[in-house]
Structure 1
């Protein structure tokens, strides 16, 4: 398991060019997760269950960790398991859908699945603006990005091949944030049918643009 962890961290440096501090955060989160698995007699990544991940997060909450730290740990694990799936180390990504009552209690202050579905369903995604709004909400839900991060997101920071966005945070730190297949589909549709109508010249650098082709504001 340690070899796969190190290979993943090397990938973050070589292919994604993340800062040492960001990579160290991933390294710490994953090391604690792997230690937890070994302490609970799980010595194979292919044998990890969703319940094991929830147990790990719950253990952190009982230890006094903030919900923001738990959310970051979950992102680290999701990125790692996406890598493992791509490298055929495991047959399927069990972190693709992690919505459950237990997770709501561990990482609070977000909408339940039924509420999110109702919100997304309110946007029919027919006109360019509707497609943009639906794509924006899908990415917000899938990634947990802040409003300021969404509006500042550059076009070249969205990696469709790997299903991640590269986000610049406080102190110029960058991190990789994964998004799921549902978001992948509507984001692709936005690039093909929505954004070209809003920004015919293609001059805007931000991923999301206004009806006049300008960067969005909060």
Structure 2
């Protein structure tokens, strides 16, 4: 995982790097996503210096240059939104007014972050999934009624899912349901339309066993060589996942500060900002200590 504190920004944007770093932390970006945004800032600053541009002359040419250089992520104008918003608030440049659809999506993104507790990367993924629907259906006036009907929702579902993979379609429909709930709760539509969105049957994991057979966890742990650092690490992580019943992402987020050795407890960070304090079994603590030593 990248560490945003280690990303160095040189060039005309260097003086804004620390402020942007703090801005990303306040907006709930995880370390990896924040580091990516800072790396994008560093690239943009270097590009501006090479092109002899100042901070007032940021254009779409930078995005086009990233594509030409072979970058495959953060290659859209929307990817620059967090940075450009920060620069605008810092008085570096004035941003053009966003179209109505983008203003609505910014409001909706705030709802997903604050009310639903989603992390920045998940918020962006949900926004990208519903952007085509919003572009077609959003009213011309901010806050105006959408005038949606069941037929409108069904027509979009049929057209957008025709050539989509089942997993992609399921994700898009889930994001659409969330959006429709938001519209109804905020009185932007006069009837609940969630029922018009069908569910996609996914069976890609149907052949996997629902649980490990007796003896398999012990056999897996026995494969870890305690005489090597890698073996100690693997044994510690597998013990944490197996004994505490954690998701892989929850185990990966554990930090030393999350473990209360004196009281025998560990703080597990779940989705969004949710966390739970659970007991730390003796064998889990011993496996962690062996690896740390």
Common fold by TM > 0.5: no
Q: Which has the higher contact order (CA 8 A, sep 6+)?
A: 1
- TM-score, length of structure 2 as denominator length: 0.31
Under a length normalisation based on structure 1, what TM-score does the superposition of the two structures give? 0.41
Larger Rg: 2
